[in-house]
Structure 1
Amino acid sequence: MADNQDPDLKMPDPAELTKAMTGIAERSQRLVSDFLARQAQNPEVQVSDPLNLGQAFLEMTTRLMADPTKLVEAQMTLWQNYMQLWTNTARRMMGEKTDPVVTPEPGDRRFKDETWQDNEVFDFIKQSYLLSSRFVQDVVSQTDGMDEHTRKKLDFFAKQYVDAMAPTNFAMTNPEVLRATVESGGENLVKGLEHLLEDLERGHGRLRISMTDEKAFTVGENVAATPGQVVFQNDLMQLIQYTPTTEKVREVPLVIVPPWINKFYILDLRPKNSFIKWCVDQGHTVFVISWVNPDEKLAQKSFEDYMQEGTLTAIEQAKIQTGAPKVNMVGYCLGGTLLASTLAYLTAKGEADQVASSTFLTTLTDFEKAGDLKVFIDEDQLKSLETKMDEAGYLDGADMATTFNMLRANDLIWSFVINNYLLGKDPFPFDLLYWNSDSTRMPAAMHKFYLRKMYLENKLREPGGVELCGTPIDLSAVKTPVYMLSTREDHIAPWVATYELMNKVSGKAKFVLSASGHIAGVVNPPAANKYCYWTNNRKAKTPDTWLKGAEQHEGSWWTDWDAWVKPFGGKEIEPRDPAKGKLEAIEPAPGSYVKARAV
Structure 2
Amino acid sequence: MTDTDSNTLDRALRATRARATGGLSPHSAASAWMDWLSHLAAAPGRMTALTQQASRIAGETALALAGRSEGPQPAPGDHRFDHPGWALPPFRAMKTAFLAQEAWWTEATAEIRGMRKISADRVNFMVRQGLDMVSPSNFPLTNPEVVEAALKTGGRNFVEGARHLAEDSARMIAQQPAPRPEGFDVGKDLAVTPGQVVYRNDLFELIQYTPQTETVHAEPLLIVPAWIMKYYILDLSPPKSLIAQLVAQGFTVFAISWCNPTAEQSELSLEDYRRRGVMEALEAVQVITRAPRVHACGYCLGGTILAIAAAAMARDGDDRLASVTLLAGQTDFSEAGELMLFVDESQIAFLEDMMWDKGYLDAPQMAGAFQILRARDLVWSRLLRRYLLGEEDPMFDLSAWNMDATRMPYRMHSEYLRGLFLENRLTAGRFSVEGRVIALKDISAPFFVLGTEKDHIAPWRSVYKTALFTDGDLTFVLTSGGHNGGVLSVPGQPHRHFRQGHRPPGRNYMDPDTWLTRHDPQDGSWWPVWFDWLEAKSTGERGTPPPLGRAEAGLPPLMAAPGSYVLQT
Compute the TM-score of the two structures, normalised by the length of structure 2.
0.91
Q: Is the 8 A contact 1:266 1:432 kept in 2?
A: yes
Indicate how the Cα distance of structure 1 residues 435 and 45 shifts in structure 2: closer, same or farther if over 3 A, else same.
closer
**1:124-163 paired onto structure 2 within 5 Å:** 124-163=93-132
Aligned pair 1:480/2:455, yes or no? no
Q: SS in structure 2 opposite 1:204?
A: helix
Report the alpha carbon displacement of residue 462 of structure 1 after superposing the two structures with TM.
2.5
Q: Is the 8 A contact 1:370 1:492 kept in 2?
A: yes
Q: SS in structure 1 opposite 2:207?
A: strand
Q: SS in structure 1 opposite 2:426?
A: coil
User: What residue number does 2:10 align with?
Assistant: none
**1:232-247 paired onto structure 2 within 5 Å:** 232-247=199-214
- The percent identity for this pair of structures is 38
Report the alpha carbon displacement of residue 99 of structure 1 after superposing the two structures with TM.
2.6
User: What residue number does 1:422 align with?
Assistant: 388
Indicate how the Cα distance of structure 1 residues 65 and 303 shifts in structure 2: closer, same or farther if over 3 A, else same.
same
Q: Return the alpha-carbon distance in structure 1 between the equivalents of residues 324 and 256 of structure 2.
A: 15
User: What residue number does 1:223 align with?
Assistant: 190
Q: In the alignment, which of 191, 201, 205 is matched to residue 160 of structure 2?
A: 191
**1:317-396 paired onto structure 2 within 5 Å:** 317-351=284-318, 353-396=319-362
Report the alpha carbon displacement of residue 66 of structure 1 after superposing the two structures with TM.
2.9
Q: Is the 8 A contact 1:213 1:426 kept in 2?
A: no
Residue by residue, what CA displacement relative to the aligned partner does 1:123-151 show, whole Å, maximum 9, x if unpaired?
Answer: 11111100012212211114443111111
User: What residue number does 2:9 align with?
Assistant: none
Q: Return the alpha-carbon distance in structure 1 between the equivalents of residues 144 and 39 of structure 2.
A: 40
User: What residue number does 1:593 align with?
Assistant: 565
Residue identity opposite 1:578 in structure 2: L
Report the alpha carbon displacement of residue 577 of structure 1 after superposing the two structures with TM.
4.4
User: What residue number does 2:6 align with?
Assistant: none
Residue by residue, what CA displacement relative to the aligned partner does 1:67-117 show, whole Å, maximum 9, x if unpaired?
Answer: 34423432342233334433442x44xxxxx33111111221111101112
User: What residue number does 2:50 align with?
Assistant: 74
Aligned pair 1:203/2:172, yes or no? yes
**1:66-105 paired onto structure 2 within 5 Å:** 66-89=42-65, 91-92=66-67, 98-105=68-75
Indicate how the Cα distance of structure 1 residues 157 and 71 shifts in structure 2: closer, same or farther if over 3 A, else same.
same
Q: Is the 8 A contact 2:193 2:235 kept in 1?
A: yes
Q: In the alignment, which of 8, 21, 25 is matched to residue 50 of structure 1?
A: 25
Q: SS in structure 2 opposite 1:239?
A: strand
**1:405-554 paired onto structure 2 within 5 Å:** 405-463=371-429, 465-538=430-503, 540-554=509-523
Q: SS in structure 2 opposite 1:535?
A: strand
Report the alpha carbon displacement of residue 546 of structure 1 after superposing the two structures with TM.
1.9
Q: SS in structure 2 opposite 1:536?
A: strand
Residue identity opposite 1:472 in structure 2: V
Q: Return the alpha-carbon distance in structure 1 between the equivalents of residues 378 and 443 of structure 2.
A: 38
Q: SS in structure 1 opposite 2:450?
A: strand
Aligned pair 1:109/2:82, yes or no? no
Q: SS in structure 2 opposite 1:340?
A: helix
Indicate how the Cα distance of structure 1 residues 135 and 88 shifts in structure 2: closer, same or farther if over 3 A, else same.
closer
Report the alpha carbon displacement of residue 545 of structure 1 after superposing the two structures with TM.
2.2
Q: Is the 8 A contact 1:300 1:444 kept in 2?
A: yes
Bigger drift between 168-177 and 541-550 goes to 541-550
Bigger drift between 80-89 and 550-559 goes to 80-89
Indicate how the Cα distance of structure 1 residues 588 and 411 shifts in structure 2: closer, same or farther if over 3 A, else same.
same
**1:9-24 paired onto structure 2 within 5 Å:** none
Residue by residue, what CA displacement relative to the aligned partner does 1:276-330 show, whole Å, maximum 9, x if unpaired?
Answer: 1110110001000000010111110101000111110110001111111121010
Indicate how the Cα distance of structure 1 residues 324 and 207 shifts in structure 2: closer, same or farther if over 3 A, else same.
closer
Calculate the aligned-residue CA RMSD, in Å.
2.1
Q: SS in structure 1 opposite 2:478?
A: strand
Residue by residue, what CA displacement relative to the aligned partner does 1:5-40 show, whole Å, maximum 9, x if unpaired?
Answer: xxxxxxxxxxxxxxxxxxxxxxxxxxxxxxxxxxxx
Residue identity opposite 2:548 in structure 1: P
Residue by residue, what CA displacement relative to the aligned partner does 1:355-390 show, whole Å, maximum 9, x if unpaired?
Answer: 111111111111111110000000110111111111
Q: Return the alpha-carbon distance in structure 1 between the equivalents of residues 449 and 283 of structure 2.
A: 24
Aligned pair 1:257/2:224, yes or no? yes
Q: Return the alpha-carbon distance in structure 2 between the equivalents of residues 268 and 398 of structure 1.
A: 23
Q: Return the alpha-carbon distance in structure 1 between the equivalents of residues 40 and 467 of structure 2.
A: 42
Q: SS in structure 1 opposite 2:268?
A: coil
**1:272-291 paired onto structure 2 within 5 Å:** 272-291=239-258
Q: Return the alpha-carbon distance in structure 1 between the equivalents of residues 400 and 342 of structure 2.
A: 25
Q: In the alignment, which of 146, 164, 167 is matched to residue 177 of structure 1?
A: 146
Report the alpha carbon displacement of residue 205 of structure 1 after superposing the two structures with TM.
5.7
Q: Return the alpha-carbon distance in structure 2 between the equivalents of residues 241 and 157 of structure 1.
A: 46
Q: Return the alpha-carbon distance in structure 2 between the equivalents of residues 175 and 213 of structure 1.
A: 33
Residue by residue, what CA displacement relative to the aligned partner does 1:203-247 show, whole Å, maximum 9, x if unpaired?
Answer: 336798x7x972341111111111111111111100001111112
Compute the TM-score of the two structures, normalised by the length of structure 1.
0.87
Q: Is the 8 A contact 1:492 1:518 kept in 2?
A: yes
Q: SS in structure 1 opposite 2:34?
A: helix
Aligned pair 1:168/2:137, yes or no? yes
